[in-house]
Amino acid sequence: MTVRSLADVRDEAAVEDSADVVVVGSGASGAVVAYLLCEAGLDVVVLEEGPYVRSEELRSDMYGSMRRMWRDGGFQVALGRAVTPILQGRCVGGTTVVNGAIIHRLPEPIHAAWQREHDLGSALPYAELMRASDRLDELLGVSPTPEPVQGNNARLLHRGLDELGLRGNAIRRSVIDCRGSAHCNQGCPTGQKQSMLATLIPHALERGARLYATCRAERVVGQSGRAVGVRARFVDPVTRERGPTLRVHARHAVVLAASAIQTPLLLSKSGFGRRSGLVGRRLQAHPGTALVGVFDQPVRMTVGATQGYESTHHWAERMKLETVSMPVELLAARLPGLGHALTRQLERHDHMAVWGVQVRAQAQGGVRAGLFGTDIRYQLAAEDVAVLKRGIFLLAELLFAAGAREVLPGVHGLPPSITHLDQLAPLADLPDDPRLVHCIAAHLFGTARLGSAESTSVVSRQLEVHDCSGLFVADSSVFPTNLGVNPQHSISAVAWLLGEQLVERVARGRARLARRAS
């Protein structure tokens, strides 16, 4: 098993390597591609900008986790009329290490819309994606969150949904034998979460993959219109200490799996995919906000699955509801009040439940390299805010239905605390302005979208960058739109099909070479 980080190469002037395929990124897509290629006996190098953090090294304090394993220490934001935190993992295993492990398959209506309206054609057949999802389910131990570890936060949402006659379900997650420590966002301290760090990356390493961690890809190297390698540099992501460069020669392909933020930046820096003018544009997301309910009985969000129950009842109305058991550090930032008013709120944290609404927003933003780092622009459209407002009203209704004595809506222009749903009525009259609420966005799409024509897309239907053969994109950059559900499994399923395609392609290439040689 070969993992090399800055500490291992600090004294070297430069590092060189070569592989059949170089994969940039080790998250939901990169790990899948690396796994499949290694299973087929190919020689693979994986580059990951973040550190390799073992389960036993994980801490339960949120800041300690964020500074080490989240992009920009958790301070990455998108700018618009409001500031929107953009949450992404930056460690071996990517966001799968710090997300809620929520598994949804690509919704069929979304796939149909991609075929109908977004030039998907016959690429990524739905049946094939489901076949890949079946296999991923097995590899990642996907199952509904068992009742004993759901926690009271989830049980209360279940009760509220039942009271209102709305559909809900225990969230399907990639966790085996969850201990219910509510630590998903800090990285699972018991190692039960089946993140890519715990599953496919170790598989790939056992089968010969070489992983370079704390190694930032700086440029895809092209030659005569073909990707032939990657230039990277070892950099400590926390201290920013710079180490030697790494040059990896790719004999067959380079796969970008660095997320809808980093992949377009890398394409731009490398000078590829520019002809459409769409690299880094049309960024879509699932912005969301959360409501706090205060109950008479203890809720104890510190016990149970971080995210155990959800409702897709209103999916067609572009929203999804779910429980979000927040660490107390994040909860405090969400609670109303400052000074002693805040400490009084914290005194009753044990009686609080937090539920979120996630919106399939229509807004489109962009990403590019800026003066102070990555420049992400994103602003909710008025119609998205209208959906958010409906979601906020619905969550408050559910909280009261579940027995909350008080709801903290977190909407500017409304009372910080309400005890009856009628008090939320003025919400409808507030403007559809993104500055009304605090949103975060964790699911990102569309910044290197796929299509058949070079003028309207960045990658082909085979996920190969139009103007660079041998350069593929495997992450959600290629998705034409957002999904309305958590995207990890859809990203992995698309990466699975690309991985299989690459195995065939390399085999064909080798056969061709063998024929020539003979």
Footprint on this chain of another protein (rule: CB under 8 A): 59-64, 66-67, 72-73, 75-77, 81-83, 181, 183, 189-190, 238-240, 300, 302-303, 327-330, 332-333, 336, 338-343, 346, 349-350, 372-373, 412, 435
Q: Under a CB-based contact definition with an 8 Å cutoff, are residues 174 and 100 in contact?
A: no
For residue 286, how far is the Cα from the chain centroid?
10
Residue 341 tokens read as 């008013």
CB of 302 to another protein, least distance (A): 5
Specify the DSSP class assigned to residue 211.
Answer: E
User: Mapping DSSP to helix (H, G, I), strand (E, B) and coil, where does residue 15 land?
Assistant: strand
Specify the DSSP class assigned to residue 102.
Answer: B
CB of 64 to another protein, least distance (A): 5
Of 425, 394, 396, whose CA–CA distance to 410 is shortest?
396
Specify the DSSP class assigned to residue 87.
Answer: -
Instruction: Report the DSSP pairing between strands 44-47 and 210-212.
Output: parallel
Query: Looking at beta carbons only, is 346 or 386 nearer to another protein?
Result: 346
Residue 162, H or E segment = helix 147-164
CB of 303 to another protein, least distance (A): 7
CB of 100 to another protein, least distance (A): 17
CA distance 52 to 58: 11
Q: Under a CB-based contact definition with an 8 Å cutoff, are residues 451 and 118 in contact?
A: yes
Residue 467 tokens read as 């103007």
First to last CA, the chain: 35
Query: Looking at beta carbons only, is 43 or 350 nearer to another protein?
Result: 350
Query: Looking at beta carbons only, is 350 or 383 nearer to another protein?
Result: 350
Query: Looking at beta carbons only, is 112 or 341 nearer to another protein?
Result: 341
CA distance 462 to 122: 10
Report the sign of the C-alpha dihedral through residues 205, 173, 334, 440, in that order. positive
CB of 103 to another protein, least distance (A): 24
Query: Looking at beta carbons only, is 341 or 425 nearer to another protein?
Result: 341
Residue 110 φ/ψ region, left for φ over 0, alpha for ψ in the -120 to 50 degree band, beta for the rest: alpha
CA distance 489 to 170: 17
User: Which long-range contacts link 159-162 to residues 24+ away (Cβ below 8 Å)?
Assistant: 159/401, 159/402, 159/403, 160/398, 160/399, 160/401, 160/402, 161/311, 161/313, 161/398
Query: Looking at beta carbons only, is 141 or 327 nearer to another protein?
Result: 327
**From the CB of residue 433, how many other CB atoms can be counted at a distance below 10 Å?**
14
Residue 400 tokens read as 């009261």
Query: Looking at beta carbons only, is 304 or 446 nearer to another protein?
Result: 304
CA distance 508 to 232: 29
Q: Can you list the positions of beta strands (E) in 162-225?
A: 169-170, 172-174, 210-212, 215-223
Query: Looking at beta carbons only, is 113 or 346 nearer to another protein?
Result: 346
Alpha helices in 359-424 (DSSP H): 382-401
Side chain identity, residue 405: R
Query: Looking at beta carbons only, is 376 or 407 nearer to another protein?
Result: 376
Q: Under a CB-based contact definition with an 8 Å cutoff, are residues 244 and 332 in contact?
A: no
CB of 493 to another protein, least distance (A): 33
CB of 68 to another protein, least distance (A): 9
CA distance 38 to 117: 36
Alpha helices in 73-125 (DSSP H): 108-117
Task: Give the residue numbers marked as catalytic.
Answer: 443
CB of 237 to another protein, least distance (A): 9
Side chain identity, residue 243: G
CB of 329 to another protein, least distance (A): 4
CA distance 313 to 167: 5
